[in-house]
Structure 1
Amino acid sequence: MFRNWGFLLGEIWVLLLLAALIGLLAGWIIWGRRAAPAPVGHDSGEADRLRTALSECEARGKAQSRRLTALERELDDAGNRLMKAETLAKEATDAAPQARPSPVMPPVADLPDESVTEPGRTMAVETVRPEALAAARGGQPDDLKKIKGIGPKLEQLCHRLGFFHFDQIAAWTVAEIAWVDENLEGFKGRVTRDEWVKQAAILSAGGSTEFARRVQDGEVY
């Protein structure tokens, strides 16, 4: 008999455990369904925040649009003021008397001081024959063809006149230059025109010129 009661008690405990499990399962299902609508409220709050942010963006956009309109208006006003200023400046320029150009004086030729006697009257430059040599020093004349303007024929003419060296030509005075210019048959005026004295001074000092280098390299004559 007691054995049957033990069996019944075991059965009762099993049934109680099953009932408890069924109750827990039912409660979980019921409470889970009640809690399910919560995300809807969460989504609603997020939507409210988004709508608020959108409204703020629209407000800022309208403010920027108003500012842009104001800047465009200011730019138009500045352009109008600039056009008025340019118009006034042009009118003032047109109204101002035109300046008459100053008369251009013709260039005055450079003449030696001793050639001028009085305004409107000049006298010829005095000519003096330069010191000449009977022959080249040491029998070795300088290559006068290194002076631009003296070719082979003119070099021979210089030798006939007693001019063999660069230092002779470099030492010529204004009066001596005038004499040589007048006595170069067929080549009058070449001393002054080709600046013999200036070139001879460089060559006599041991220097060289572009033309002299070309002669030395055989590119000329």
Structure 2
Amino acid sequence: MNETSGAPSCATICWIAGGVLGLLLMIILISTAGWGFFGALIVGALVGIGAAYLLKMLFCNRAQTAGETMARPASTAASAPPAPVVTPAPEAEPETPAPTEAVEPTPVSTPAPTSVSDAGTQPQGLAAAREGGADDLKKIKGVGPKLEQMLNEMGYYHFDQIAAWTADEVAWVDANLKGFKGRVSRDTWVEQAKLLAAGGETDFSKKVDEGDVY
């Protein structure tokens, strides 16, 4: 209850209670203790005032503090600004992917053909002529100075090397004699080399020995 409802305030009640207590004390002092009127009045007034202050401190201050505490949250709630209304952001439209250009495959370059043919099997050559020097391959019909040099560069220096060539190896040498392809099989180098490697002679080798050819 508060003052606006017509009821007495807490302080008024405390003062009334203090006055009643002081009045009772004055009556008791006069009637039972034989005090004089003025002496009992002073003591009763002091006790009533003191009791009124004490009651006010005990009850009114607590009630006032509690009322203020209750009023603060209400006033805080009333004074708090309304929470902002959050408007959801519009959904972003999905981006249309840019059309990708078709990547043309990079053409694979074909390696240029090497000067060495893959036909047949390459015969085993030597890094250098054996002790005693290379044989005179010009004694084989169809082998001139230029072909002899080419054969030496390919690792062939002796009659027995050429005599040992197989058909596959003959095919390889035939295909790789620059400017003289097919000369091995056409001039029967292997048969001539076999005879010369065994220490024999041919009509052509005799002419070479006599100096009639080169």
TM-score by length of 2: 0.44
In terms of fraction of residues, the more helix-rich structure is 1
TM-score by length of 1: 0.43
Structure number, greater radius of gyration: 2
